[in-house]
Amino acid sequence: MVTYSDLCTAIVKKKINFIGHNQVIPLVRALGLKVDDDGNVEGAGKRDLEKLANELKRISGQLGVILARMAIHPLIKNETIDIPEVLK
């Protein structure tokens, strides 16, 4: 079963690939998410996922949302987890 932490981790790691570790990790930590130096997020809930998606939308526009959707799609395609509206 996929967790919100799994989804956040997938998004963070995808974003690291695009803009780099030094930009992404501080941004995610500033949102209050617990993320290690490798981009693994722990203890995240739906609200955290929504915060992350909204912040990516704020800084990267629709492209940030598209990248987030691409990152989580393989994880959610056979799951029933409730994702925030911004990621649908």
Per-residue pLDDT tens digits for 53-83: 999 999 999 999 999 999 999 999 999 999 9
Give the start-to-end residue ranges of the domains of the chain. Answer: 4-82
Residue carrying the six token digits 């800084």: 59
Per-residue pLDDT tens digits for 15-56: 999 899 999 999 999 999 999 999 999 999 999 999 999 999
Q: For residue 73, which amino acid is it?
A: H
Which DSSP category does 44 fall into? -
How far is residue 65's CA from residue 53's CA, in Å, rounded to a whole number?
6
How far is residue 68's CA from residue 41's CA, in Å, rounded to a whole number?
15
CA distances from 27 to 1, 21, 22 (A): 27, 10, 9
